[in-house]
Structure 1
Amino acid sequence: MTALTPSSPDKLRVDIWSDIACPWCYVGKRRFEAALAAFPQREQVEVVWHSFELDPSAPVRPGQSMRDILASKYGGGETRAQGMLDTMTRTAADEGLDYHFGEVQPTNTFQAHQVIHLAAEKGLQDPMKERLLRAFFTEGEFLGDPEVLVRLAVEVGLDAGEVRAALASGDYASAVRQDEAQARAVGINGVPFFVLGGKYGVSGAQSPDVLRSALEQVWQETHPAPLTLLGQDAPAEGCEGDTCAVPGAANRA
């Protein structure tokens, strides 16, 4: 369970654990995209999203606003909680994101993660992840409603009947739990969390510069540049297989 998938010889795999209800995860996604845009080998980077629930026990309908939840969790009352949300809103705006915490409808994200796994099988994982994040933080959609998830999935190209059936059967529930178990096994307890090349971890919504530097470092270590041969104008003296060049042999022929 602890083994992470390494990069293939011509790719750099980046595994990202995040939650849909995590405001820093959306910011981290934007910052990683900026880093990737500036990375020369960006076409050779394979991104795989993994499920992580900040609160697996969260009710589908908690009946609380984001401000109420923060006030209860961190203390300090509604004023402090609102200040935290305002700061997060400004941080998101710096990345081009438009957060509306007053309209956010907190919910359990287990079913939403299942939809992302279904989308991954159709080659639509990233657009599905993006659509759910925007729906949650910007549009105030209630992601605890399966029919809302179906509608959003259809927008990115999934079949409504297939999504509805997958949610009803829980076909992808085990995939979500496997992601979460793997996160625990390798020591991931906060998100976003990036694993590059199956062995290098970057925690948190780091700046694009930090993420790009990590991409470059791991690429160089896992995809070393081919050897450049020098002095090829001179005759090669050496052995290949069971044949060895004899000094001066060419002149005596």
Structure 2
Amino acid sequence: MSEPIKIDIWSDIACPWCYIGKRHLEGGIAALGDDAPAVEIEYHSFELAPDTPIDFEGSEVDFLAGHKHLPAEQVHQMLERVTGIAAAEGLDYDFDALRHTKTLQAHELLHFAKEHGRQLELSERLFRAYFSEGRHLGRVDELVSLAAEVGLDADAAREALESGRYGAAVQADIAQAGAYGINGVPFFVFEGKYGVSGAQPAEVFSQVLTQVAGERDEAAA
């Protein structure tokens, strides 16, 4: 058996396109059926709005209108559009319930989860909690509860967050993104050499995987 194809994903759990992009990647892999190569997926940290307070006072419309300097009506239209695109992927976005917050500790928790073999499960759980359930992911208690749901030890997760010992790993991911020239997410890197920016359609991911697998076969021949 050949080594799985490595897919590194720079992402932020507060990024609606990152959750959609996750579904598109999964769809691209599934579309290949029996021909799908084995993959190894690793998530990397990217903070879209690092200056966000943990307890932001206001709605998602308020945040985006202020952060992007856009009229509230235009923001409403943007959110309606992304909600529709998400719904087509089976994702139920509830921007009225969403609690905008700083995502630093969520990223630290994802590094903790990676160390314990639960990063993919936690990534999915955090996205759903944030976009569909209105959970406050800037609070340690909420993060610990979600970690426990995916099989992580709650006490160890709390210690990891309260100690801040994964903070350097988060910053290393952000620095690597800068080195790659990544200034927006989601961003997918295949085998360390092919970059795909944004929530591209599933067929794009199918094509990239097929190309990478084909190049591997040629190299091994």
2:7 matched residue in structure 1: 14
Deviation at 1:43, TM superposition (A): 5.5
Please state whether the residue corresponding to 1:27 is helix, strand or coil.
helix
2:107 matched residue in structure 1: 113
Deviation at 1:41, TM superposition (A): 5.0
The superposition leaves residues 141-182 of structure 1 with CA deviations (integer Å, 9 ceiling, x where unpaired) of 000110000000000001110011001111111111110000
2:30 matched residue in structure 1: 37
Deviation at 1:38, TM superposition (A): 2.1
Asked whether the equivalents of residues 9 and 223 of structure 1 are also in contact (C-alpha less than 8 Å), the reply is no
Asked whether the equivalents of residues 140 and 161 of structure 2 are also in contact (C-alpha less than 8 Å), the reply is yes
Asked whether the equivalents of residues 19 and 25 of structure 1 are also in contact (C-alpha less than 8 Å), the reply is yes
Asked whether the equivalents of residues 61 and 76 of structure 2 are also in contact (C-alpha less than 8 Å), the reply is yes
Deviation at 1:77, TM superposition (A): 2.4
Structure 1 41/197 Cα, relative in aligned 2: closer, same or farther at 3 Å? farther
1:64 matched residue in structure 2: 58
In 2, distance between residues paired with 1:171 and 1:226?
41
CA RMSD of aligned residues (A): 1.6
2:90 matched residue in structure 1: 96
Q: Does 1:183 align with 2:177?
A: yes
Paired-residue identity, %:
50
Asked which structure has the greater RCO (Cα within 8 Å, sep 6+), the reply is: 2
Amino acid at match of 1:100: D
Please state whether the residue corresponding to 2:218 is helix, strand or coil.
coil
- List structure 1 segments (4+ residues) > 6 angstroms apart after TM superposition: none
Please state whether the residue corresponding to 1:202 is helix, strand or coil.
strand
Structure 1 16/41 Cα, relative in aligned 2: closer, same or farther at 3 Å? farther
Please state whether the residue corresponding to 2:41 is helix, strand or coil.
strand
Asked whether the equivalents of residues 5 and 37 of structure 2 are also in contact (C-alpha less than 8 Å), the reply is no
In 2, distance between residues paired with 1:123 and 1:74?
36
Looking at secondary structure, tell me which structure has more helix per residue: 2
Structure 1 151/43 Cα, relative in aligned 2: closer, same or farther at 3 Å? farther
In 2, distance between residues paired with 1:76 and 1:144?
25
2:79 matched residue in structure 1: 85
In 2, distance between residues paired with 1:119 and 1:184?
24
Structure 1 48/223 Cα, relative in aligned 2: closer, same or farther at 3 Å? farther
Asked whether the equivalents of residues 197 and 222 of structure 1 are also in contact (C-alpha less than 8 Å), the reply is no
Query: Structure 1: where are the runs of 5+ without partners?
Result: 1-7, 228-253
Amino acid at match of 1:25: C
Deviation at 1:117, TM superposition (A): 0.7
TM-score (norm 2): 0.95
Q: Aligned residue pairs: how many?
A: 220
Structure 1 226/177 Cα, relative in aligned 2: closer, same or farther at 3 Å? closer
1:155-194 matches, cutoff 5 A: 155-194=149-188
Query: Structure 2: where are the runs of 5+ without partners?
Result: none
Structure 1 226/169 Cα, relative in aligned 2: closer, same or farther at 3 Å? closer
